[in-house]
Amino acid sequence: MATPIVHDQEKLGTIYIQADLSKIQITLFRYVGFGALGLIGASILAWLLGAKLQIIISQPIEQLATAMRAVSKERNYERRVKMARKDELGSLIEDFNEMLGQIQLRDQELQHKQTRLDYLAHHDTLTGLPNRLLFHDRLSHAISKAKRLNYPLALLFLDLDRFKNINDSLGHEVGDQVLRQVAKRLETLVRDSDTLARLGGDEFVIALEQTKEARDVTIVAKKILESLSEALQVGPNELYVTTSIGISLFPTDGEDVESLMKSADVAMYRAKECGRNLFQFFTMDMNERVREALFMENNLRKALDNQEMALYYQPQVEMSSGKLIGMEALIRWHHPQLGIIPPLKFIPMAEDTGLIIPIGKWVLGTACRQTQQWQEAGYPPCKVAVNISPKQFRHSDLVETVAAALKDSGLDPQFLELEITESVLMEDMEQSIATMEKLKAMGITLAIDDFGTGYSSLSCLSKFPLSKLKIDKSFVQNIAELSENNAIAEGIIALAKALHLEVIAEGIEGERQIDFLQSKGCKQGQGYYFSRPMPADAFEQFLARESAFSYRRLAAD
């Protein structure tokens, strides 16, 4: 480098300095080289350390992450991270695997519970059979398949006969065992391709697929009736259970689940009407009867409020003299469109729907009031007989209802007679006797109506506090023509004498019947020979004429 020398603005000279820097440069290059080598070495070391850390830390974490993603996506809780370590990462992997194990266990429990819930939702818990929901689904699939392949399908609707009697008399536990045994018997009668289900209560249904003709269905129905007719052993009880079966066919009786079920249900009720323990195929006229029954039921519910009910009275007489000894109150329904409807057409419906309770209460009150009014008017006092329906007899407030009717009317209890069918008494004998004792204690007389048509045990008959037996008209109308009817009527009369009971025959229509009955010791009678049932105003006129004419003379006239 060069620097001028100046004094008082006068340049005196120049200083030159020169140095050799090669050694310094060589030293610097050496340092730079060593630095670069150090940097490269450090980089290699860092890379080696990073790779090691990758193996030690990052790779296990990546495996954990991969396992997590797979479990989340596949819902497969059986996966595990396989890595044996004894450091913190090893503990993390162990905890992760343990967590998967717990999740897997809970998932299995959840799946088991879900499977159980699904089973319970589609199966009957008592019998293990498919329930209504599952049956509807299977029947829908069967119908779709039948449409596609163009083959018939049959639906059988089963309802056990009088199953309620088993529950009421032996208890629901016995009833449940009966249902299980019935289900097992039915399972042995159906094919794997068929579907057997319990709808609830004592109702079962069977869908028979690929039935070639009605005869095949008939064979299955007969097998069911035969199988169930054999005794069931439930603990110490040997029980006999029958069923009524309604059958509908696809596509003639319905092309969907609802219509097929409805048709089979209608046919089943028709089977019950025809006597139970049999099967019925659905026919179109059954629909008409169902519509008529629905119309009748809807109108029956309004009949009392609309004052459409009326009582008719039929005389009961002493056959030797024709003297009036009593009367039976018989209900009639004066329908505004259909006219007079006899009891046989609406009483069973009233019994099934429970309407018999208010109707029976009205009959009892009206009969008592009318009888008391005739006595107050000066007519000869006579007893009025009122029928008590099975449901009315079993109703808890029967005794109170009778007491209220007597109190409200002012009628002396000795002029009221209640007629009860013998089959009702035998359903719960102890309860029946208790109810009858209470009624008798009030001063009311009790009679068995339609005697001979039920199934009462003669050994039990003497236990009932009865006053009278009423011979059913089916045994009276053919007297002197069929010897067996003569024998039955004679036997009932003899039984009544042995039990010190009065006996009255209903359905008398001719002299021959009167002569036979009197010759055997039956003194009282009722029937068209003496008089048809009459409305209250006509019966009042009849009472007015009673003292002047005998009923036999009136019949001759």
What is the rounded distance in angstroms from the CA atom of residue 430 to the CA atom of residue 110?
A: 52
Same domain, 399 and 437: yes
Which of 229, 259, 282 is where one domain is finished? 282
Same domain, 103 and 154: no
Q: SS in 3 state form for 531-552?
A: CCCEEHHHHHHHHHHHCCCCHH
Helix (H) or strand (E) holding 446: strand 445-451
Which of 247, 282, 317 is where one domain is finished? 282
The count of domains in the chain is 3
Q: Identify the pLDDT of residue 475.
A: 84
Residue 421 belongs to a domain? yes
Interval 201-219: pLDDT, tens: 899 999 998 776 778 899 9
Which of 250, 282, 314 is where one domain is finished? 282
Residue 46 belongs to a domain? no
Same domain, 142 and 93: no
Model confidence at 443: pLDDT above 60: yes
Neighbours of 84 (CB within 10 A): 7
What is the rounded distance in angstroms from the CA atom of residue 446 to the CA atom of residue 437?
A: 10
Same domain, 297 and 277: no
Q: Identify the pLDDT of residue 551.
A: 43
Model confidence at 95: pLDDT above 80: no
Same domain, 410 and 486: yes
Residue 454 belongs to a domain? yes
Helix (H) or strand (E) holding 471: strand 468-471
Model confidence at 552: pLDDT above 50: no
Same domain, 230 and 315: no
Residue 178 belongs to a domain? yes
Same domain, 214 and 278: yes
Residue 456 banded pLDDT, cuts 50, 70, 90: low
Same domain, 432 and 489: yes
Residue 157 belongs to a domain? yes
Same domain, 273 and 309: no
> Among 18-27, 391-400, 539-548, whose mean pLDDT is lowest?
539-548
pTM comes to 0.61
**Is the four-CA dihedral 435, 438, 441, 442 of positive or negative sign?**
negative
Residue 553 banded pLDDT, cuts 50, 70, 90: very low
Interval 158-206: pLDDT, tens: 999 988 888 877 888 989 999 999 999 999 998 888 999 999 889 999 9
State which residues form the domain around 352. 292-556
Same domain, 156 and 300: no
Residue 26 belongs to a domain? no
Q: Identify the pLDDT of residue 106.
A: 82
φ and ψ of 20, to 5 deg: -95, 115
Residue 92 belongs to a domain? yes
Residue 2 belongs to a domain? no
What is the rounded distance in angstroms from the CA atom of residue 145 to the CA atom of residue 149?
A: 6
Same domain, 345 and 323: yes
User: Where residue 210 sits, what CATH number does that domain have?
Assistant: 3.30.70.270
Same domain, 213 and 90: no
User: Where residue 427 sits, what CATH number does that domain have?
Assistant: 3.20.20.450
Of the CA atoms within 13 Å of residue 273, those in its CB half-sphere come to: 17
